[in-house]
Chain A
Amino acid sequence: MGGEEPVRVLLADEQSLFRQALHVALESQPHLVVVAQAESGCQAAIRARHTAPDVAVLSATLPHCDGIEATLRIRQEGQNCRILVLAEREDQASLLEALEAGANGYLSKDSPLHDLIHAVEAIHRGETLVPPWMLGGLLSELIRRRREGARALQVIASLTRREREVLALLAEGRDHNAIAQELVISPETARTHIQNILGKLNVHSRLEAAAFVGRYGILQGLVGAES
Chain B
Amino acid sequence: MNAVRHHRPARREGVWLRRAGAEVVLYDSQSSRVHLVNDAAAAIWDLCDGDTEPAEMIEAICQLSGMPRPIVVEDVERILNEFTTAGLITWAEDSQRPSEPPE
Contacts and interface: CB of A to CB of B under 8 A. Distances in A.
B66 A132 contact: no
Contact of B46 (A128, A139, A146, A147): A139
Given A133-B19, A146-B56, A146-B59, A139 B64 contact: yes
Contacts of B24: 132
Interface string B28-70: 0000000000011011111101001000110111011110000
A132 B56 CA distance: 19
A132 B43 contact: yes
Interface of B: 19, 24, 39-40, 42-47, 49, 52, 56-57, 59-61, 63-66
Interface of A: 99, 126, 128, 130, 132-133, 135-140, 142-143, 146-147
Nearest to B59: A146
A144 to B, nearest CB: 10
Given A143-B52, A146-B59, A136 B65 contact: no
A128 B57 contact: no
B43 A139 contact: yes
A136 B46 contact: yes
Contacts of B44: 136
Given A128-B66, A136-B42, 17 more contacts: A128-B65, A132-B39, A135-B42, A136-B44, A136-B45, A138-B64, A139-B43, A139-B57, A139-B60, A140-B46, A140-B49, A142-B60, A142-B64, A143-B56, A143-B57, A143-B60, A146-B56
- Is chain A's interface secondary structure helix, strand, loop, or mixed overall? helix
A135 B40 CA distance: 8
Contacts of A143: 47, 52, 56-57, 59-60
Given A135-B43, A136-B46, A137-B46, A130 B64 contact: yes
B63 to A, nearest CB: 6
A128 B39 CA distance: 14
What are the 9 A-B residue pairs with the smallest beta carbon separation, nearest first? A136-B46, A132-B39, A135-B43, A142-B60, A136-B43, A139-B60, A143-B56, A143-B60, A128-B65
A216 to B, nearest CB: 16
A65 to B, nearest CB: 25
Contacts of A140: 46-47, 49, 52
Contacts of A126: 66
B61 A139 contact: yes
16 contacts: A126-B66, A128-B64, A132-B42, A133-B19, A135-B42, A135-B43, A136-B42, A136-B45, A136-B46, A138-B64, A139-B47, A139-B61, A139-B64, A143-B57, A143-B60, A146-B56
Nearest to B19: A133
Nearest to B53: A143
A142 B56 CA distance: 9
A206 to B, nearest CB: 32
Contacts of B19: 133
A140 to B, nearest CB: 6
Nearest to A142: B60
